[in-house]
Structures are given as C-alpha cells and as structure tokens.
C-alpha cells in the first residue's frame, strides 16, 4: 500500500530507521571492520529487547500480586504472563547457538575493543533479577564490591530502586500467608498433615523392622538411613527449627507460606487449587530456565575466552558457573517435593472447603 500523509506506515510504526541504524561496530569506527562484530551487537540488542518484554510481563504480574485480594482471574492472568516469559527464556537459551557460530578466533578480532564494557552492566538483567527476588545478600561479590559498582550512576540508582520494591518472591510469600483455608472451622491443615506424616514415618519404619527378608545388620543400616528422612520432615514440622533455618539462610520461605504452598501442592487435584499450583510450578520453571541460560552462557564464555577474565573484570567462566549454581530465587518451592506424601496418606479436605471456597475466599462470607 502506498504511504499517504494520514495512514500509518510500517517503517514509522516500528521506528525502523532508528532501530536499523543502531549498530555501530567499534572495529569499523576504528577503520578495520571485524565481520562478526555485527552479529555480536545484534544478538545483544535482541537480548535487551527480550529483557524489555520480560520486564513488561513481570511488572504486570507484580501489579496483580500487589492487590490486597488476589483472585482466580488474577492468578490465571499471572499464569499467562509467566507462560510468555518462559517462551522468551527458551528463545534466549536457543539464541546462544547463533552467537556460537562466531569462532573464538574471530571474537579476538574485536574483543579487546570492548573493555571494560560487559553484559555484567546490563541494567535490565539486574532489574529482572531484583524484581524476581534475588537479594543482594544472595549474590556473589564483584571482587569485594557490590554488583552495581561497574554501573554508571543513573543506572545504579535505577537498579537500586528495584531492590527496594517488593519482589515477586516477597509478594507471592505474602499471598500464600493470607491463604484462608490453612485453618478453617474444624479443619487444621498443619495438624492433619503432621499426623499423616508421623503415621507414614511410623509405618515405613515398621516395614523395615518387621521385614523378614532383611538381616539384623540390614535393618540397622536402613533404619539409620531412614533417620535422615525423619530429620528432613522434622525441619518442616517443627516451626522453630524452620525459623532457625530461615535465620541462617538455609531457607527463605516463611513457615506459614511454606504450609500454604504445601497445601496447594498436595491438594492440586482440586479445581480451586489447580491454578495456584500451576502458578507456583511456573515459578519453578522460570528459575530453572534462568539457570539453564546462565549455564549455557557460562559455556559460551568458556568456549570464547577459555579461562581468561571477563571484559567486565570478573573471573569470567568461573564466576558465571558459580552464579548459575547459586543465583536462584524459588528454590524453596522446588524443594517442597521433599515433603510430599502419597495421595493415599493424605487427609481429605472437608466438604465445605471443597464445595464453597474460592482461593480468595474469606471465611466470614461462608453461610453453609
């Protein structure tokens, strides 16, 4: 279609003139263009666009969870946005392959021109981490300084702002703590769950001690092994023990939120808990995908620069691999599987909960 003064024109709408003239290889400016620098720039720019969309969706989810009452439709929309974020993450991981079509030798043609710039200075990446809930005390140190040290002042203050906002982790924790049906009329989830666990543990131990196919030594061995399962459950059944683990940094999620998350995981088959379960599962997916990206990126760095330090001044591949191992936000949700018990050992939810409750239900409105 021909452009006239009134109609919208493709190139103007997408601001293609600005977008397509935003690639300025340093090597070209210095008079000896390295062919692969254009690939390097475009791949980074596309990443920043995906980060922008990631933040757009993440801000939407944060807004939903800042509401006092988070109802099913909020959770449904949150799941949709998380799905989109997960797809962005899959693209981000695959995109590394494109950059790997550049050889280490070709990278050397322009790498020295990049110092001290590095992806370490990506403001949007830091904002994503902070908005998800990667607190400063969970991060590896940049030498002996903060991760914000290499940022220009205005960028550092923008990142600091995101440290101060309630993160997705904190908002989801608060939402879980408000779950109404942990204690409902004659149903006390935690008492019922604890009883079910204790019965299950006693039954398992009995199976070992009374198993005629095991020798005395084998029984002692298996019972000793079983003690670690008991210790695992003790760490969650005993609220004070859980508080100590949180204080010492071994756990993050409060005991109340852990109870609620466990209830959702255990009773996920009930339609009212299905969406909350999906939402929490997608948070685990998100963390996993971010870890997968970090691992792939560490491998990319190793392949491109071996054991050299990074242009941003970290230990390079060593730093990146360690960050992949430790920079995780929703670990406590993934670890909930430790505390799942078989459906057959689970107490039934009372009929009035199953029938009447929505996830945002307030007990005052119950008339049954």
Among 314, 329, 332, 353, binds ligand HEM (CB under 6 A): 314
Q: Does 107 bind ligand HEM (CB under 6 A)?
A: yes
The candidate with the shortest Cα–Cα distance to 78, out of 279, 336, 333, is 279
Bond from prior residue into 116 cis (ω within 30 degrees of 0): yes
User: Long-range contacts of range 51-54, CB-CB < 8 Å, 24 or more positions apart?
Assistant: 51/122, 51/124, 51/125, 51/128, 52/124, 53/84, 53/88, 54/85, 54/88, 54/89, 54/124, 54/128
Choice between 148 and 251, CB closer to ligand HEM: 148
User: Binding of ligand HEM at residue 180 (CB under 6 A)?
Assistant: no
Query: What stretches of 210-357 show up as alpha helix (H) in DSSP?
Result: 216-237, 239-247, 255-266, 271-305, 317-326, 331-334, 351-356
Q: How far is the CB of 61 from ligand HEM (least distance, A)?
A: 21
Which neighbouring-strand residues pair with 187? 184
Pick one of 38, 106, 122, 352: the residue that binds ligand HEM (CB under 6 A): 122
Chosen residue from 43, 93, 214, 318 binding ligand HEM by CB under 6 A: 43
Q: Which of 70, 127, 236, 301 binds ligand HEM (CB under 6 A)?
A: 301
Per the CB < 8 A criterion, the answer to whether 348 and 295 are in contact is: no
Report whether 359 contacts 275 (CB < 8 A).
yes
Of 190-198, 230-238, 309-317, 354-362, which segment contacts ligand HEM by CB under 6 A? 309-317
Which segment (7-15, 230-238, 251-259, 319-327) binds ligand HEM by CB under 6 A?
319-327
Query: Is residue 44 within the footprint of ligand HEM (CB under 6 A)?
Result: yes
Least distance CB 32 / ligand HEM (angstroms): 19
Q: Which of 81, 39, 77 is nearest to 57 (CA)?
A: 81
Contact stretch for ligand HEM (CB under 6 A) within 42-50, 183-191, 260-268, 331-339: 42-50
| Residues at the contact surface with ligand HEM, assessed by CB under 6 A | 43-44, 47, 99, 107, 118-120, 122, 125, 297, 300-301, 304-305, 310-314, 316, 319-320, 323
């Amino acid at each position: 279609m021909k452009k006239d003064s009134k109609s919208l024109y493709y190139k103007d709408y997408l601001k293609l003139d600005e977008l397509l003239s935003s690639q300025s290889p340093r090597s070209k400016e210095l008079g000896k263009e390295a062919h692969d620098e254009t690939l390097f720039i475009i791949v980074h720019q596309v990443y920043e666009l995906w980060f922008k969309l990631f933040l757009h969706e993440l801000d939407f989810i944060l807004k939903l969870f800042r509401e006092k009452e988070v109802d099913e439709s909020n959770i449904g929309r949150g799941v949709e946005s998380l799905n989109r974020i997960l797809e962005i993450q899959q693209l981000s991981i695959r995109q590394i392959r494109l950059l790997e079509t550049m050889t280490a030798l070709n990278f050397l043609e322009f790498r020295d021109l990049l110092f001290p710039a590095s992806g370490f200075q990506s403001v949007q990446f830091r904002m994503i981490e902070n908005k998800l809930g990667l607190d400063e005390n969970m991060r590896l140190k940049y030498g002996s300084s903060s991760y914000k040290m290499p940022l220009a002042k205005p960028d550092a203050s923008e990142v600091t702002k995101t440290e101060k906002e309630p993160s997705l982790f904190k908002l989801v924790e608060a939402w879980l703590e408000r779950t109404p049906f942990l204690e409902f009329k004659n149903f006390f989830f935690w008492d019922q769950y604890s009883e079910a666990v204790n019965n299950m543990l006693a039954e398992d131990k009995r199976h070992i001690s009374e198993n005629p196919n095991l020798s005395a030594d084998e029984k002692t061995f298996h019972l000793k092994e079983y003690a670690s399962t008991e210790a695992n459950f003790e760490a969650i059944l005993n609220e004070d023990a859980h508080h100590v683990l949180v204080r010492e940094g071994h756990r993050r999620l409060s005991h109340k939120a852990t109870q609620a998350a466990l209830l959702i995981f255990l009773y996920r088959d009930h339609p009212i808990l299905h969406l909350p379960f999906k939402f929490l599962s997608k948070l685990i997916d998100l963390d996993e995908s971010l870890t997968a990206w970090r691992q792939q990126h560490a491998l990319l760095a190793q392949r491109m620069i071996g054991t050299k330090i990074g242009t941003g001044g970290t230990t390079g591949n060593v730093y990146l691999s360690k960050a992949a191992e430790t920079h995780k936000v929703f670990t406590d949700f993934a670890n909930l599987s430790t505390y799942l018990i078989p459906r057959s050992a689970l107490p039934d939810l009372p009929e009035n909960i199953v029938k009447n409750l929505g996830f945002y239900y307030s007990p005052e409105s119950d008339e049954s």
